[in-house]
Structure 1
Amino acid sequence: MEQLFWACLAGGVLFAIVTVVFGDLLSHALDGILDFLSVDAVRKLRPMVIVSVITAFGGAGLLVLHYTPLGSVLAVLLASAAAIAVGILVYVAYVRPMENSENSTGFSIRELSGRIGEVLVPIPPRGYGEVLVKVGAGHTNQIAASFDGDTLEAGVRVVIVEVRDDTLFVSRLEDNLE
């Protein structure tokens, strides 16, 4: 039983070292080769979780076997319980937050309709200017024209009415504070 625990512990540590040292090289070399393994049911079982469970099983098993008077069967049961707890902890504390943190700074100009912006470069009645629009955590400057044919000075708050030909057509935002 001790050999099984040592094998699990050594395999997990070796996997960690190899992925840290050669992670980028291997990921580029094996790009797409193992995509057939990514079945939806298996995708929740991330390699990091699986390896941490195996490593924790080996380490906990060795500790229980050497530092308690319990037998092999109880050592396996306690090591299994510890491994499952570590796997859940790794998934909840690391894997799931990392999945949720993936976000993009990309946007489609078509998504800007209805948003509020501020005129940076004045917009003449029959010409173009520039507006600043908040997108996600940042801002973007876009070419704009007046939707109503009005002159819009710099600093005026506007609403984007429509997007045509990669140009934002904006109208003065009227604050109804009366």
Structure 2
Amino acid sequence: MLLKAFQLCFWVGVLFTAVSFILGQLFDLTEFDADFDTDSDTNTTGSGKGETIISPFKPVVIAAFITVFGGVGIIGLHYLELGALITLAMALVSALSTSFLMYRFLIVPLYKAQSTSAVSQKELIGFPAKVQLDIKGGGFGRITYIVNNNTYSAPAKSVDNEEILKGSKVAIVDINKNIFMVTKM
């Protein structure tokens, strides 16, 4: 009976992982649990510093727990022929360890990287930039700007309709329909 439970856990975990991967590739989803990725996954602590706590109960972590629990259980009961309690304990410890490691060294760093690199367009107003492609009168050019040690490029126009040559330093004044309005510094 216990072997059947381990097999069920293992195959449910494998099937979930495979379906998530296939659907993610077909529909170009970045994460299968995108519908569940709301602000409920992160909570602000009461310290007032805006620290976030990332929920460990993400579908990918749960799937890893179920898969490892079932797999280690199958190995312990069927192949190593260990007792039921020893196998259950070994499967539980292995699944918890794997889930913790996945959460700690994969999920948390990815969420932190995602939240630190995302900057709203409103926050870019006043940022310095450098012209990469001449901005001719009322025409378009191209600028580059740096945020969080990442370099970005964007189409740009001069606010004053003046010509700004490549290499000039400019300031971002406004962003309208993803066109960066700039002025010479």
TM-score by length of 2: 0.60
Encode CA deviations 1:102-131: one digit per residue, 9 max, x unaligned: 4888852772414032372366xxx88856
Q: What are the ranges of 5 or more consecutive residues in structure 2 without an aligned counterpart? A: 43-53
The answer to whether the 8 Å contact 1:12/1:51 transfers is yes
Q: What are the ranges of 5 or more consecutive residues in structure 1 without an aligned counterpart? A: 172-178
Is 2:63 the counterpart of 1:87?
Answer: no
Partner Cα separation in structure 1 for residue 111 and residue 126 of structure 2: 29
TM-score by length of 1: 0.62
Greater gyration radius: 1
Partner Cα separation in structure 2 for residue 145 and residue 22 of structure 1: 45
Partner Cα separation in structure 2 for residue 38 and residue 118 of structure 1: 37
How many pairs does the alignment contain?
158
> Structure 2: which amino acid aligns with 1:88?
F
Is 2:118 the counterpart of 1:118?
Answer: no
Partner Cα separation in structure 2 for residue 67 and residue 129 of structure 1: 68
RMSD: 4.2
Percentage of matched positions with identical amino acids:
20
Encode CA deviations 1:16-49: one digit per residue, 9 max, x unaligned: 3333445667x9xxx99x76x9844794311111
Structure 1 pair 134–76 and aligned structure 2 pair: CA distance change class (3 A) = same
Shift of residue 87 of structure 1?
1.0
Q: After TM superposition, where is structure 1 displaced by more than 6 Å over at least 4 residues in a row?
A: 103-106
Among 132, 136, 143, the alignment partner of 1:132 is 143
Encode CA deviations 1:125-171: one digit per residue, 9 max, x unaligned: xx88856232553222322256xxxx876245324285599742323
- Corresponding residue number in structure 1 for 2:121: 108
- Corresponding residue number in structure 2 for 1:16: 17
Greater mean deviation of Cα atoms: 15-24 or 136-145: 15-24
